[in-house]
Amino acid sequence: MTVGRMKVGYLMNTYPVVTGTFIRREIHALEAQGVEVQRYAVRRWPEALVDEQDKAEQARTRYILSGRLPGLLADFFVELATNPRGMLRATGTWFRLVRNARRSVIRHTAYLLEAASLKRQAARDSVDHLHAHFSTNATAVALLAERLGGPSFSFTAHGPDEFDNWSDNSLAEKVAGARFVVAISNFCRVQLARAAGMSAWNKLHVVRCGLELREFEASEAPFEGNSTFVCVGRLCPQKAQSLIVEATSRVVALHPQTKVVLIGDGESRSEIEAQIARLNLKEHVTLLGWRSNADVRRAVGSACALLLPSFAEGLPVAIMEAYALARPVITTFIAGIPELVDSNSGWIIPSGSVEHIANAMIAALEAPANELAEMGQEGRRRVIEAHDIDRNASMLRELFGQEVLGAEARAIATADANLRNDGLLIR
């Protein structure tokens, strides 16, 4: 490797996915700044992709498992035969991961096979460093690949599931093995420090998810007479869409013109559809399924407010997008959300309360149009300040340089010094 230049492999469990636009933006921003990025993913997204950029990303991604089980097994046995020392190191780490996860032998065996294949593919691609998103499956594979003798690695932690059980996730071991770790919020950084200990504090860096602000002009859609709320996200219990439906049944009693649009799909869809029918809200709540990024921007940009009363989150990109479009939000006081949202830019409420959701919706419907516009502009200012993808990608690029290239440069300098001391280096 030439010091000052590097090729980074981005590793995800599943990529691209409709909920992973922030990763695609990050990769594109790094490439625009001169970082060569090779995309890796364990498996393909099983559902249909709706955005053309995601379809293009899928064509550029190398898959470790999907469609190549014979190759996966072949890579493992070649590695076993030709790299016994690396396999011994990786097996020791594998045993600790299994022990921490308490009997997840089959799943972690799959990780070891994937790591062997990733290590060999990264060598063929001349990848110098791997960066994983989420501290769970992908980071376990990156850690095992590094133990096999593959590239150094780092990872971005998001939450909230990653922090549910630090021991099962071997989070401390992953932090210890990484060159550096990215947290998407200060809250996230604190959770990582709690898991790994304060000795790891200087290894933990806050780099927030970002937006390509060129794609997000402030919406000029009027607030006057606007009674539409939009929720964007997977239909699942932690996003609390069922509570949105119940809250809407209360709101329409006072504001019968109220509309709620749910964009996304998932395991809670049938439950939500049944609830809509039971509460006779078919004229008020619409499920659109997944939509392209452009469709989402149009829907959010024309809404009175984004509605996201989640039980569990990291720091939702949907909030950033609503703010970039100069729309206020109604969301919950959890995790990293208060680092972006307060009463100056929307409504931040306790999670799990139908009453608070309904009251916030009514407050938005009854707020003067100029007040809603001021909230939206304040949100936009915050996103421009903290969530510009170009600025945040520059922070990542600097971390790659300092923590990865810097380590390589120090290693080369040490080797040169040893040769000079031995009289073997001729300048």
Q: Does one domain contain both 401 and 364? A: no
Q: Does one domain contain both 47 and 76? A: yes
Q: Does one domain contain both 14 and 82? A: yes
The total of other beta-carbon atoms located within 10 Å of residue 422's CB is 8
Q: Does one domain contain both 185 and 53? A: yes
Rounded to whole angstroms, the Cα distance separating 260 from 272 reads: 13
* Mean pLDDT rounded to a whole number for the chain: 93
Lowest mean pLDDT among 45-49, 178-182, 232-236, 333-337: 45-49
Domain contains 125: yes
Write down the residue that tokens 């990264």 correspond to. Answer: 122
Helices in 37-170 by DSSP H: which ranges? 52-60, 69-82, 84-101, 105-124, 137-147
At residue 419, does pLDDT exceed 80? no
pLDDT in tens, 65-79: 998 999 999 999 999
Domain contains 298: yes
Q: Does one domain contain both 26 and 165? A: yes
Q: Does one domain contain both 71 and 199? A: yes
Bigger pLDDT: 8 vs 415: 8
The helix/strand/coil state of 181 is: strand
CB 404 within 8 A of CB 128: yes
Rounded to whole angstroms, the Cα distance separating 306 from 322 reads: 6
Domain contains 338: yes
Q: Does one domain contain both 223 and 111? A: no
Q: Does one domain contain both 227 and 184? A: no
For residue 381, the one-letter residue type is R
Write down the residue that tokens 């919406």 correspond to. Answer: 219
Domain contains 2: no
Domain contains 401: yes
Q: Does one domain contain both 354 and 415? A: no
pLDDT in tens, 100-137: 998 789 999 999 999 999 999 999 999 999 999 999 99
pLDDT band, very low/low/confident/very high, at 166 (cuts 50, 70, 90): confident
Domain contains 426: no
Backbone angles phi, psi at 403, to 5 degrees: -90, -25
- In the chain, % of residues over pLDDT 70: 93
pLDDT in tens, 257-316: 999 999 999 999 999 999 999 999 999 999 999 999 999 999 999 999 999 999 999 999
Residue 382 sits in which domain range? 216-386
**Sign, CA torsion 37/38/44/49:** positive
Rounded to whole angstroms, the Cα distance separating 226 from 326 reads: 14
- Check residue 388 and report its DSSP letter: B
Q: Give the contacts of 30 (CB within 8 A, at least 6 positions apart).
A: 8, 37, 393, 396, 397
pLDDT in tens, 334-390: 999 999 999 999 999 999 999 999 999 999 999 999 999 999 999 999 999 999 999
Backbone angles phi, psi at 39, to 5 degrees: -85, 135
Q: How far apart are the first and last CA of the chain?
A: 20
Going by DSSP bridges, is the β-strand pair 7-14/129-133 parallel, antiparallel, or unpaired? parallel
Rounded to whole angstroms, the Cα distance separating 225 from 406 reads: 57
- Please give the model's pTM, rounded to 2 decimal places: 0.91
Domain contains 406: yes
Q: Does one domain contain both 220 and 174? A: no
